[in-house]
């Protein structure tokens, strides 16, 4: 131990050299300011929501004759949930002569047979349901939807992913809003079938509640642009066509189409009271695959469209919100850089103000309120809107923050890949059908997660743990211990859970396509 301390003291001498200290200090300050910058935006979203929450969407008129609607159910190897979503779509309350259902299936395993047979069963009962099966995955989900549009007969297009259960009244609750000829898309709120199953699913539910009940609501009610979430939404077909249709050059085809459609002049509407229940990924690797795809796709969309948005004739509030929305995923990079800077921070004074002075105190309090407290405020507000217990939500905040930190490496990889223009396959989120206990108990394939990421997360856990040990030995480092514990727990939880999930799951198998 004495040798280690002697080495660290020697390290302290070398690191405190001005040529090292000032670049580290500059990097440290910039990272903290960037995190605070996006934290400030969280506060602005909460404020915007509360300022506009009285502007609830109103129906001024209703269709005298209901328009023709096509319901599209895109899926890929969804054997656990294919029958459930098809049944739910066929049970929706809408005139049968006004409703077409398309099962848009790219499956390469026995799921194709399940979906096809289920469609045939409903066809015999008089339902206009079409089974559209491709023997390739060109363009992934965007490509499948693009091809299905050629045989879609509806004036309006509803889309549901396979893990969703469309409510019986979904179409009647949404379609009448299109009597306003400016509306191009109506988005419903996601519900959570397995919200209370595990700590992981409870955290995801709170994350998504914040996205929908604060972000979406604030943007929609204040006239800012928002995005279609890929599912549980109803489109005016003309709004899709005017935007140029589905494109597959990003992993978030829904966000890409949303911005192109709004740039073409269409308005979007969020209906928080129309809730479409869905399954949350109960397994950490599934969650990480989903987060990586959303993060990478968001940055890809930003690369593709942000400059066009900023140079368009849109208002400043629309442009500024689009900037935050399409760049907010970079926060994961800043969190990762901050974690890396923890160790040298113990041996280099990287604070811009002298310790113990009033400016230093104000600096620290400002960063805490913007970088940390803003997240708590954001998620607490999303639960208060639903009349959920604020106290219980507050108890979940440490885990929420740790989970956000733990997946930062995984999502940083997504940001870097997107910025470098590196293409990757559309990795679907595995569907478990957690409402069926017999399905959930079966082993299921993990998505393709890079193993080195899990090792890196575990390494960062030990790195943070080392920083905790150092902090406990320094009076000025004691205040940082609670934050370091969040980092250590987050990295260990995500890293070890990922490894365990990969060991427990059977490997994925690519099966030859079934006959068309």
Q: Which residues are marked as active site?
A: 106, 254
Helix axes 331-345, 481-504, angle to 10 degrees: 120
Q: Among candidates 275, 286, 268, which has minimal Cα distance to 201?
A: 286
Q: 94: which residues sit within 8 A by CB, 6+ positions away?
A: 66, 69, 171, 172
Strands (E), 51-206: 69-75, 99-105, 129-133, 156-159, 183-192
Cα 260–chain centre separation: 20
C-alpha–C-alpha distance, residues 290 and 252, integer Å: 11
If you ran DSSP here, which 8-state letter would residue 476 be given? G
- Whats the size of the chain, residue-wise? 516
DSSP H or E stretch at residue 142: helix 140-148
φ and ψ at residue 56, rounded to 5 degrees: -70, 140
Query: Residues with Cβ < 8 Å from 353, sequence gap 6 or more?
Result: 359, 360, 363
Contact 477, 346 (CB under 8 A): yes
């Amino acid at each position: 131990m004495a040798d280690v301390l002697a080495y660290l003291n020697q390290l302290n001498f070398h690191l405190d050299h001005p040529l090292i200290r000032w670049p580290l200090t500059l990097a440290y300050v910039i990272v903290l300011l960037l995190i605070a910058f996006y934290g400030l935006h969280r506060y602005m979203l909460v404020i915007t929501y509360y300022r506009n929450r009285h502007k609830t969407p109103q129906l001024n008129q209703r269709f005298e004759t209901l328009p023709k609607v096509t319901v599209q159910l895109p899926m890929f190897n969804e054997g656990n949930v294919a029958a459930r979503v098809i049944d739910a779509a066929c049970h929706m309350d809408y005139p049968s002569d006004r409703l077409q259902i398309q099962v848009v299936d790219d499956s390469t395993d026995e799921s194709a047979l399940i979906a096809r047979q289920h469609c045939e069963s409903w066809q015999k009962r008089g339902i206009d349901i079409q089974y559209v099966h491709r023997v390739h995955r060109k363009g992934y989900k965007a490509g499948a939807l693009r091809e299905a549009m050629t045989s879609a007969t509806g004036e309006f297009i509803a889309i549901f992913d396979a893990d969703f259960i469309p409510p019986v009244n979904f179409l009647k609750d949404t379609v009448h809003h299109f009597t306003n000829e400016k509306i191009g898309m109506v988005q419903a709120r996601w519900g959570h079938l397995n919200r209370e199953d595990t700590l992981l699913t409870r955290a995801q539910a709170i994350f998504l509640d914040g996205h929908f009940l604060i972000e979406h609501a604030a943007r929609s009610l204040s006239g800012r642009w928002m995005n279609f979430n890929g599912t549980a939404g109803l489109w005016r077909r003309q709004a899709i066509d005017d935007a140029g249709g589905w494109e597959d050059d990003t992993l978030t085809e829904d966000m890409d189409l949303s911005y192109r459609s709004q740039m073409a002049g269409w308005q979007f509407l969020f209906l928080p009271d129309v809730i479409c229940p869905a399954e949350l990924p109960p397994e950490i690797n599934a969650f990480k695959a989903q987060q990586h795809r959303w993060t990478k796709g968001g940055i890809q969309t930003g690369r593709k469209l942000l400059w066009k948005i900023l140079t368009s004739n849109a208002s400043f509030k629309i442009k500024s919100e689009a900037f935050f929305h399409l760049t907010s995923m970079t926060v994961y990079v800043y969190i990762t850089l901050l974690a890396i800077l923890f160790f040298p921070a113990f041996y280099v004074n990287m604070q811009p103000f002298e310790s113990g002075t009033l400016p230093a105190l104000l600096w620290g309090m400002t960063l805490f309120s913007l970088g940390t407290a803003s997240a708590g405020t954001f998620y607490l507000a999303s639960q208060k809107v639903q009349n959920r217990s604020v106290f219980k939500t507050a108890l979940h905040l440490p885990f929420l923050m740790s989970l956000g930190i733990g997946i930062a490496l995984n999502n940083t990889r997504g940001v870097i890949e997107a910025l470098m223009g590196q293409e990757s396959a559309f990795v679907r989120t595995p569907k478990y059908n957690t409402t069926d206990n017999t399905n959930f108990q079966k082993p299921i394939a993990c998505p393709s997660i890079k193993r080195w990421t899990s090792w890196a997360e575990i390494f960062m856990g030990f790195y943070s743990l080392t920083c905790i040990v150092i902090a406990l030995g320094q009076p000025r480092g004691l205040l940082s211990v609670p934050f370091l514990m969040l980092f250590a727990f987050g990295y260990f939880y995500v890293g070890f859970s990922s490894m365990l999930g990969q060991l427990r799951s059977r490997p994925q198998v690519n099966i030859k396509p079934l006959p068309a």
